[in-house]
Structure 1
Amino acid sequence: MSILFSYGERLTDKTELLQTILPPHLHEKICTDEALRDSTSRLRQVLRMSKDAYRRQKVLLPYVTCAHFKPAQRHSKNFLHSVGLILDVDKLGDRLSALRQKLERDERILLSFMSPSGQGLKLFVAFSEPITDTALYAGFYKRFAAAFAKQYQIEQYVDLKTCDAVRACFLAHDPNAYYNPLAVPVQPPAPEKVLPGLSPNEGAVGETQISEEEKGALDEQTYRNILDVLNERPKRPPKPKPYVPEVLHEAAELLAKAWAKHEIRVDDVVDIQYGKKFVLYKGVHRAEINVFYGKKGFSVVATPKRGTHPSLTELCVKLAELELFAE
């Protein structure tokens, strides 16, 4: 499959029509474009003075995304498909040079360059065929990134949150940018993969099909009319127990062990529809997260309630993602 990236120059301009760019042309631009070289140099000088000013200035850089759109404007509602993913390996410090050589020897890396901050790497990986579903993309990104991080023991440097299919990657000048035209594409998951027991034609998680027996059941109004005749009050039906996929029971044990390695204990586990709620403690600090399993696999959601500790919650989510998405 021929790879084309989407390229833009004004991220804040919502009307901008994206262009397409081939990997070798993108590599050449990163290595040789004088305007990009000057912008990158100024931006890194700004970073040394103010992180806030750096973040505001960074959005003025040109950018690429592996996603394609119709119309060609970067918005989730216009998403057609994605031809690859971009791993964000950041805050490497003194490890950057040695780790860069190691990562660029991976046969899957199509392109890499130093990030605008000068403290990390952007790693491009191509798909053997496009992914056309944003949720499927997000799940696959997290699993691949977690496995990649575990393989190279760089879990603390790889950001699993950059899993948005339409996310932009800002360019930066790098005369040593890497390009491998013979990189091996990775195989994305099949889109029809769903939960056991559900057909591919069923709707969103939680929807059920009505059986022939249920179609013959009494409707609510008829039921109430009969009860009126009998002079009885209708009994409120019992609240159904939440459905929890079996895989989540197994995952709960693995997660408890993963958290325990960091002295985080599970105080309570509550079954919820298609998921489990975990109440966690590290010392006196409390965190709550929900772990779900649906058509696209696992998802981990922080529940920032009053009384919970934000940093502990973020740590628990990241540890859970690393455990669930690692291959």
Structure 2
Amino acid sequence: MIKGDTLLQKDTERLRKLSLLDKAAYRTAKTRLPYVVGSIFRDGVRRIDNFVQAHCLIVDVDHLPNFDGVVPASITADRAVALAFVSPSGQGFKVVFTLEQPCNDAKLFQAFYKSFVSQFAERTGLVSSVDLRTSDASRACFLAHDANAYFNPNAEPLVVEIMTLEEDLFSKQTLIEKKEATKTETKPIFNETAYREVLREVSPTAPTRTVKQAFVPQELLDFMPEIDVLCQKAGLEVFEKMPIQYGIKVLVKQGYRKAEVNVFFGKRGFSVVKSPKTGTDAALMDLLYGILYAHLFPAPISENVPLVSYLSAN
């Protein structure tokens, strides 16, 4: 079905184009795709209260940087991988593992899932892209067309063992969850021409709306590379520079602390404005503000010249 179903292929193509227009509409439309669940439920009702047993473990790998639309060879080379295909979003992939024996305990399954996936993520270098929220045994996995989907009917099944969750396991789990929580998707500058073309194909009769692009003065565009250098010297990581009207929103992090500051350029030149928001760190924001302000408005250097010497020289 994933490789050859023409209807699924068309639905997948439309869905990915829709994601360029409206993320909320994309999430709603995605629920119309066929899906699979790795567990069996009483009366066929997919609720954790009705859980009977799990037969598969499905890993969701998403928001991969520079993803080329093909499942990496490092994944398909794993002898335990039974199935791997590109996600509906087109920005990642799903990986399916089978279990040697059905797991009859939902909590045990969840604990094993987090333990196994944590190790899998570290082994494959996917720590920042693996989603541990899919550890719920009732989680659905939406299917998408993938002409190059990988399938191994002879994959080695996983053995679910009753284990004691040591502190180091929790620390690894927490690390991945925190990285998932702090991931920020960089928003591309809106392309109105592409928007109109996609909308015309998805819905030919729909009226198109005009979306204003943020105007960023050339002075700010020239300053953007310097922001990275200044922040790097201060031990700050710039994870996004977002165009806003006549300005740039600069977002940085240090560990798990985040901060943002807006830099504008207008008739009176540059201005730096703090942007306190829920979830940001005030001290880190002050540091970022100080770095940018000091660079744009350096304090004048006074010369230590005695007044008498100055008067006699004139």
**2:49 alignment partner AA:** K
Does 1:69 pair with 2:41? yes
Q: CA deviation at 1:161?
A: 1.5
Does 1:104 pair with 2:76? yes
Does the CA-based 8 Å contact 2:80-2:155 persist in structure 1? Answer: yes
Query: TM-score, normalising length from structure 2?
Result: 0.53
- The one of 60, 64, 68 equivalent to 1:88 is 60
Counterpart Cα distance in 2 of 1:188 and 1:143: 10
Counterpart Cα distance in 1 of 2:169 and 2:41: 39
Partner residue of 2:208? none
Counterpart Cα distance in 2 of 1:250 and 1:41: 39
Counterpart Cα distance in 2 of 1:311 and 1:166: 34
Does the CA-based 8 Å contact 1:96-1:120 persist in structure 2? Answer: no
Residues 310 and 141 of structure 1: CA distance in aligned 2, closer, same or farther (over 3 Å): farther
Q: CA deviation at 1:77?
A: 1.8
**2:150 alignment partner AA:** Y
Residues 105 and 97 of structure 1: CA distance in aligned 2, closer, same or farther (over 3 Å): farther
Partner residue of 2:11? 39
Residues 251 and 129 of structure 1: CA distance in aligned 2, closer, same or farther (over 3 Å): closer
Does 1:117 pair with 2:123? no
Partner residue of 1:147? 119
Residues 185 and 310 of structure 1: CA distance in aligned 2, closer, same or farther (over 3 Å): farther
Counterpart Cα distance in 1 of 2:103 and 2:82: 18
Q: CA deviation at 1:37?
A: 1.1
**2:13 alignment partner AA:** S
Does 1:60 pair with 2:32? yes
Does 1:162 pair with 2:144? no
Does the CA-based 8 Å contact 2:69-2:92 persist in structure 1? Answer: no
Identity across aligned pairs (percent)? Answer: 36
Q: CA deviation at 1:93?
A: 3.7
Higher helix share: 2
Q: CA deviation at 1:101?
A: 1.7
Secondary structure of residue in 2 paired with 1:106: coil
Q: CA deviation at 1:78?
A: 1.5
**2:11 alignment partner AA:** S
**1:105 alignment partner AA:** A
Q: Which has the larger radius of gyration?
A: 2
Q: CA deviation at 1:122?
A: 0.3
Query: TM-score, normalising length from structure 1?
Result: 0.51
**2:83 alignment partner AA:** L
Q: CA deviation at 1:310?
A: 4.5
Secondary structure of residue in 2 paired with 1:31: coil
5+ residue gaps in structure 1?
A: 1-28, 196-246, 264-280, 286-307, 313-327
Partner residue of 1:211? none
